[in-house]
Structure 1
Amino acid sequence: MPSRPAMRPAAWLLAAAPLALSGAASAQTASESVTLEELAVTGEGSAQGQAGAGASGFGVAALPGAAPLVIERPVSQVVTAVGREGTIANRPATSIGTVLLDSPGVTLRQGNGGRDVVISIRGNNARATGVTRNMVVLEDGFPVTQPDGASRFDLVDPRAYSRIDVFRGPQSALFGNYATGGALTFRTRTGREIDGYEIGVDAGSFGYLSHYFTVGRASGPFEVSLFASDVRGNGYQDNSSYDTQTINLLASYTPSPDNRFTLKVINNELTANIPARSSLNQFRLNPYQRGCDAAASAAPGCTTFGLFANGAFGPRVPVTATEGAFRRNDRRTIIAGRWEHDIDAQTTWRVQVGFDERNYNQPFYTTSGRGSLPSYFVQTDLTRRGELFGLPAVGYVALAYSTVDIAASVYNRAPYGGARLGALIGLQDTVQSNLGGRARLELELAPQWTAVAGISAEQSSILGRNRTFAISAAGTTSAVALADRSFLNVAPELALVYRPDPNWALRGRVATGYATPSFASLFVNATGLPGNNTELKTQENLGFDLGADFMLFEGLKLSVTGFYEFFRNEFVTQSPGAGLLNYTFNAPASEHRGIEVGADWAFAPGWNGQLAYTFDDQVYTDYVEQISAGSVTAQFDRAGRRIPGVPAHQLLARVGYDVPAGPLAGLGGFAEVVAQDSYFVDNANFLKVPGFAILNLNVHYAAPLPNGAAKRIDLYAELRNVLDATYVGSANPLTNTINATTGAQNGRAVLAGTTGSIFAGPPRTFVAGMKLSF
């Protein structure tokens, strides 16, 4: 293997930060006007409202006055706080997607099995169909995104959380590598929030069954909360049953007023059958792939995959997802700790370290991937609140390092007899590392004006090799692709906030983001097989946000944000064909522009309306695509074409009523509409998948139980997709092809018949549950 490239620490960045912090010598804490409180579209309030003045960030057991994390109450950021009440506590949240649609800018796609979802912010990951990328995910301040940029949401059970913050737009100045689209920060419930224990059960259509347990308590210097769940279901498609278990622990110890220790543990085990992705034509005939047990007797519209009869080369045998026993067996384990020390009344120093392993075994479609990805991270940061040049200020500086050691293999699949493996066709050995620093200053220029400046610099390296094996009757040949890549990225950010009175805030922001290629994308070529794709470049974006948060009148909160983002070398991922691996390439230039609107209106006693709307227009501005078929090669200019996978319009609108007082207090319900526009699935914009609108109804009841063993009972039921609409829940972007004789592009009819793209969304589904608190 090639020698590992030396990393250049971003020492110059860290050296500059203390200059800004050194002026903060006053003991006066920065006033609350430093923080912009953006609209929260749920009933529980915004990030600032949750933290409260002087509260510690992310529920760490700490005495009043401990400094919150800088990401807990960030000035100028476009953040939506999704709270527990109204979104998690009183509805059967079967996946995190049920909850995150409350935020403008969020697009969801059904992932590969069980409660796996692919999350996109401002369309930056809307083309992906498995792993979530182009954003950073944290839980209780600890990274959940691995050093290769991958996040998965199998391990996320919504029941565990009290709040989720959605950061929209380029965020690398605050979160570093991969934050081109934004960030998600999850906050689990703390021991003092739970103060006892809870047991619950949800059950519903298609064999859905969820058992969960929560316990939490604070006692003296100790605080602990533990969540555990067992979730399983048969799925609404053929070959889509799943079984997953999750454990989530948050514990803290405060031995003295100025020292706090936090422990975080997450473990998730998943076994999930994987249904077949169909073509648009097959979706219209058989959206849920019913009657597809065997290829020989399959119903019309069933998707089949050609597996080598001998698992290596030669004739292929068509199999359905059931015959092929397509499945995932994955495990994710995170163990992390943090020490916080108050140097003085205004300065907090933190050090956190962690271990994160993703282990997967995925024998589905025409190949089977197996891999172990142990990763490690360490971060140290310093936060100071006080004055700079006589002005209230918050300064923050951080240094972070992460690395992942990847050992992965790819096999052909063999037909029949369960999830049998065929010949080995790829081996990967890679180390990916990131070393960087970040600095941020929030400065109150005047009682109504706050300015923000931030910057990050990060050195990333990918060192590895991929060996591929081609098997024929003549024998086996092999090839080696080597990667020895190093990337240095810098991301500045500037923002200004004007708050003329407590009910109005105007904000402007210019920010940048970057995302380096992942090891996986470097080793899949345009044919969708293991190979050489090592020339990928860093994806970068420059974004402009202009927005306002205001209260028009008592009870109505409104947030409006316009954004315009310029991308260079944007990652575009698409499927070369049925059952093949997704291939990633760089589009030289593109633009994303749109509007986000969030509203919360308490228009009468007990009544509440909520709105989350996004307009997102994404186009290529510089991209010439080269397509080959046989000996014919042709080039096509995609400038002005819409980027696949991104709906222009999407909407969540909800109206609900909760009895405010009297004997029926605690009884409530709501109706909500989730709607999404149609979108293209190919670069030539020949084929669109249709949009949809679905109606969901909810009823819930919560009441104290003063005379029983339990303290409280929560009951809830939900009917989703009430009108039983058949719609596309996920569509994998497709590669355009040409005629091997004429060189002309194949049109809509060919794309509509190309399999490997579409999962149907769930049909009419009923789920109900109860929770007892003790």
Structure 2
Amino acid sequence: MSAPRFRRPRRVLALALAASPLIPAAAQAQQSVTLEELSVVGAGGGPVADPRGAATPGVAAPVPAAPTPVAAPVGQVNSRIGRGDVIDDRPAVNIADVARNSPGVTVRQGNGPRDVIISVRGNNARATGVSRNFVVLEDGFPVTQADGSSRFDITDPRAYGSLDVFRGPQSALFGNYASGGALVFDTRRGAAVNGFEYGVDAGSFGYLNNYATVGGISGPFELSLFTSDSRGNGFAGHSSFNTQTINLLGTYTPTPDNRFTLKIINNEFQANLPGRSSLLQFYQNPYQRGCASALTAAAGCVTYALPVNGRNGATAPVTADEGGFFRGDRRTIVGGRYEHDFDAYTTWRTQLVFDDRNINQPFYTTSARGDFPGFNVLSDVTRRGDLFGMPMTGYVALAYNTLDSNSLTYVRAPYGGARLGALNANLAATQDNLGGRARVELLLSDRWTATAGIGAETTAITGRNITYGYPTAGGVTVASATLDRSFLNVAPEFSLTYRPDEAWRLLGRVAAGYATPSASNLTVTPAGVPGNNTQIQTQENLGFDLGASWAPLPELQFSVTGFYEFFRNELIAQSPGAGLLSYTFNAPASEHRGVEIGATWASPAGWRATLAYTHDDQIFTNYTEQLSAGTRTARFNRAGNQIPGVPADAALARFGYEQTTGPWAGLGAFVEAVYQSDFYLDNANLLKAPGFTVVNLNLHYDRVLPGGAAVGFAKRLSLYVEVRNVFDRVYTNAAQNLADSISGTTGLQNGAGVLAATTGSIFAGAPRNVVGGMKLAF
């Protein structure tokens, strides 16, 4: 049985946004003023290139548009991470190697080698695969779907020129799901590549990555194309993988006032997945070795109980090998943008993006198969001029995005590879977001800048979820839940920036963010049965920031930011009672508060240093959790408890040297330490995942080849080798939250020992390994 698909007439209206421009702002000003960007934290090594990729000397790039507030933000708490010491000189395996260079960011492993879970100020710390609570853009095109889902399988670090991390609530600028921040990637422009590059990385555990980039300019055309093929055996049992990525950015500028941009991303991903262990199993067998069969499994191997007949009754324990656990996903994104300058002060943009996520995920006790196609439309106007005699940049936008969710969930059956059992659920739903955003950046004086913004958005979710049950007595039960919810959200933002001199910048900011439930949150009622979860509300965040940055010398930058965020109606899972389904519940209130410190130093003598540190204290202030077992149900007050999954302290420190002159110019090395404190795994704060410090060593050499004749026609040679986890530390690279439980006999809460033996939480980080590579530019 298939469920009907629901569509909204608002799609017709939204697609029409691409047909006509917004009305430009008032009369043309006497002069154009672009406000200077405030970057509270400058992360990354050395000077940071323009994210679009500065043109190579002698290469005339097409005339770019004036930057929008998204591309050149004022009054934001954001970090810009460039390529130096982060991408160019090291084998960056996944985006975690880049993102952790920003204060406020913690990363952990998801379900696959590039499926990284990124958390900004602890937001998204509860994620188990799909990332939510922040918005992701690439070259100005959204790669977050309408239900808030983002995944980083498509993200090969080699393709990018920079990453901007926007910290704190950002819905006034980025809309729904930007309750915790935003990530803005920019690929290298054709002018920056100016030729052809080929590279290869190889290392321990069969790791091999071949990648190539071609880019350049020809008249009004500019193109950059990145491709990669990455594969490996994995350091844990049953963790081999291979993934192929294509990333294209092309622009056509027929006249200085008109620009067309094409963006294409395609990723094919295949990965075997090991079992997530309990804390006790992690200490016994962190890398899940010797786990080919449950009958002969070594101590600490993770097993899952799958029904022998694929639907009910007797079960058999299987390891990851026996169960054939894997992910086989595809993601395709195609976007187009048109930009037109009405005059020297007013730019209109309209863009349309098609985004299709196709999944096949038969791992652990269920298998998910589905297709999630969506569209995203944006039309905006940026105006630079005067307001009340003061230089101003104004921005107004209309945005619409939609997603069709077509998902089938099956019971897993043991043995014979990734074998499916009976159909468990069929979800067909549509989510639409339609809203507008406006922003003004006003230069009050040569020292004071004010920004004000607001966003308003409606969200509608319609569809149907059909759940199938298979009683041991025989037969099939069918329960249908019709989904029909709508939400209206408003998010304001205001900031003041003060620059007493060239060295100091001070910032105060207050902003709101929101994240609506997705279709899957609506399929179980508070009674614990299939139905429309009508009580659920939007998750909201009100955040305050105070920051200062100091740059006494061009080569030295330091910043500190204090933040205090108040969450309301945080979306979490709740148990309604014995023998019933868990449902999504709004925890009434929690608080996130902390300090972020960033520093970079790049001396003329060649010494370099980078620091990114975060202290993040998060507590529930109003939350009662309900637990059940057998015939018992109990409620526990969690107010004052630490929010699980969030380390109190996290830091990256890197120190190195680059030879800048003489015959050895281009030779460099650095040592890097990544630290993360322990954190609670459960709402009751009974069990902690251990903290760790991992040390990496890097040696690299980069040199322009004279005359291009040293290696064929190559212009530049880059060599690098890195020893990771030098001291072979066993650590938790991912630790998912665990649900507390009670005794079915006494109704009392079970202790830490029960949690420590509960599987489904931990992936170990990689042991000591060596990765090296080379890159040639032609």
Distance 2:522 2:128 in 1: 18
SS for the counterpart of 1:30 is coil
Q: Which residue of 1 aligns with 2:556?
A: 556
Q: How does 1:20-39 map to 2 (within 5 A)?
A: 22-23=25-26, 25-30=28-33, 32=35, 34-39=36-41
Distance 1:60 1:582 in 2: 59
Q: 1:293–1:245: structure 2 CA closer, same or farther, 3 Å change rule?
A: same
Q: Give me the TM-score of the superposition, normalised by structure 1.
A: 0.94
- Amino acid in the other structure paired with 1:437: G
Q: Which residue of 2 aligns with 1:436?
A: 435
Q: Which residue of 1 aligns with 2:764?
A: 760
Kindly state the Cα deviation for residue 38 of structure 1 after the two structures are TM-superposed. 3.2
SS for the counterpart of 2:295 is helix
Q: Which residue of 1 aligns with 2:735?
A: 731
Range moving further from structure 2, 514-523 or 267-276: 514-523
Kindly state the Cα deviation for residue 575 of structure 1 after the two structures are TM-superposed. 11
1:126 maps to 2:128: no
Q: 1:581–1:30: structure 2 CA closer, same or farther, 3 Å change rule?
A: farther
Answer whether contact 2:199 2:774 (CA < 8 A) is retained: yes
Q: Which residue of 2 aligns with 1:716?
A: 720
Distance 2:8 2:761 in 1: 39
Q: Which residue of 2 aligns with 1:469?
A: 468
The alignment of Structure 1 onto Structure 2 pairs a total of residues equal to 757
Answer whether contact 1:128 1:573 (CA < 8 A) is retained: no
5+ residue gaps in structure 2?
15-20
Kindly state the Cα deviation for residue 555 of structure 1 after the two structures are TM-superposed. 3.4
Distance 1:309 1:604 in 2: 67
SS for the counterpart of 2:97 is helix
- Amino acid in the other structure paired with 2:689: V
Kindly state the Cα deviation for residue 570 of structure 1 after the two structures are TM-superposed. 1.0
Q: 1:18–1:474: structure 2 CA closer, same or farther, 3 Å change rule?
A: closer
- Amino acid in the other structure paired with 2:139: D
Answer whether contact 2:651 2:676 (CA < 8 A) is retained: yes
SS for the counterpart of 1:694 is strand
Kindly state the Cα deviation for residue 586 of structure 1 after the two structures are TM-superposed. 2.0
Q: How does 1:503-582 map to 2 (within 5 A)?
A: 503-523=503-523, 533=533, 535-553=535-553, 555-572=555-572
Q: Which residue of 2 aligns with 1:386?
A: 385
Q: Deviation digits for residues 683-709 of structure 1, max 9, x if unmatched?
A: 000000110001000011011122231
Kindly state the Cα deviation for residue 67 of structure 1 after the two structures are TM-superposed. 1.1
Q: Which residue of 2 aligns with 1:486?
A: 486
Q: Which residue of 1 aligns with 2:749?
A: 745
Kindly state the Cα deviation for residue 660 of structure 1 after the two structures are TM-superposed. 1.5
Q: How does 1:150-189 map to 2 (within 5 A)?
A: 150-189=149-188
- Amino acid in the other structure paired with 2:84: E
Q: How does 1:597-608 map to 2 (within 5 A)?
A: 597-602=597-602, 605-608=605-608
Q: Which residue of 1 aligns with 2:356?
A: 357
Kindly state the Cα deviation for residue 582 of structure 1 after the two structures are TM-superposed. 9.4
Answer whether contact 1:498 1:505 (CA < 8 A) is retained: yes
1:113 maps to 2:112: yes
Answer whether contact 1:465 1:482 (CA < 8 A) is retained: yes
- Amino acid in the other structure paired with 2:30: A
Q: Deviation digits for residues 45-97 of structure 1, max 9, x if unmatched?
A: 458x65799x9xxx996416x31122111101011001012210110000000
1:615 maps to 2:619: no
5+ residue gaps in structure 1?
11-16
Distance 2:701 2:296 in 1: 48
Distance 2:433 2:425 in 1: 26
- Amino acid in the other structure paired with 2:635: Q
- Amino acid in the other structure paired with 2:728: D
Answer whether contact 1:27 1:345 (CA < 8 A) is retained: no
Answer whether contact 1:238 1:290 (CA < 8 A) is retained: yes
Q: Give me the TM-score of the superposition, normalised by structure 2.
A: 0.94
Q: Which residue of 2 aligns with 1:258?
A: 257
Kindly state the Cα deviation for residue 595 of structure 1 after the two structures are TM-superposed. 0.3
Distance 1:528 1:759 in 2: 31
Answer whether contact 1:573 1:733 (CA < 8 A) is retained: no
- Amino acid in the other structure paired with 2:450: A
Distance 2:490 2:351 in 1: 23
Distance 2:392 2:721 in 1: 47
Q: How does 1:20-59 map to 2 (within 5 A)?
A: 22-23=25-26, 25-30=28-33, 32=35, 34-43=36-45, 45=47
Q: Deviation digits for residues 190-248 of structure 1, max 9, x if unmatched?
A: 11110000111000011100000110010110011100000001111111110100000
- Amino acid in the other structure paired with 2:566: F
Answer whether contact 1:574 1:734 (CA < 8 A) is retained: no
SS for the counterpart of 1:569 is strand
Q: Deviation digits for residues 533-578 of structure 1, max 9, x if unmatched?
A: 55432110000000001124563210100000000011236999xx
Q: How does 1:92-111 map to 2 (within 5 A)?
A: 92-111=91-110
Distance 1:604 1:626 in 2: 60
Q: Which residue of 2 aligns with 1:13?
A: none
Distance 2:316 2:483 in 1: 35
Q: 1:520–1:361: structure 2 CA closer, same or farther, 3 Å change rule?
A: same
SS for the counterpart of 1:520 is helix
Q: Which residue of 2 aligns with 1:308?
A: 307
1:455 maps to 2:454: yes
Distance 2:292 2:530 in 1: 29
Q: Which residue of 2 aligns with 1:687?
A: 687
Q: How does 1:631-650 map to 2 (within 5 A)?
A: 631-650=631-650
Kindly state the Cα deviation for residue 627 of structure 1 after the two structures are TM-superposed. 0.9
RMSD, matched Cα: 2.4
Aligned to 1:772, which of 755, 771, 776?
776
Q: Which residue of 1 aligns with 2:18?
A: none
Q: How does 1:667-706 map to 2 (within 5 A)?
A: 667-706=667-706
Q: Deviation digits for residues 480-524 of structure 1, max 9, x if unmatched?
A: 122101000000000000011111100000000000111223336
Q: 1:574–1:95: structure 2 CA closer, same or farther, 3 Å change rule?
A: farther
Percent identity (aligned): 61
Kindly state the Cα deviation for residue 602 of structure 1 after the two structures are TM-superposed. 3.0
Kindly state the Cα deviation for residue 4 of structure 1 after the two structures are TM-superposed. 6.2
Distance 2:527 2:775 in 1: 50
- Amino acid in the other structure paired with 2:157: P
Q: 1:202–1:172: structure 2 CA closer, same or farther, 3 Å change rule?
A: same
SS for the counterpart of 1:193 is helix
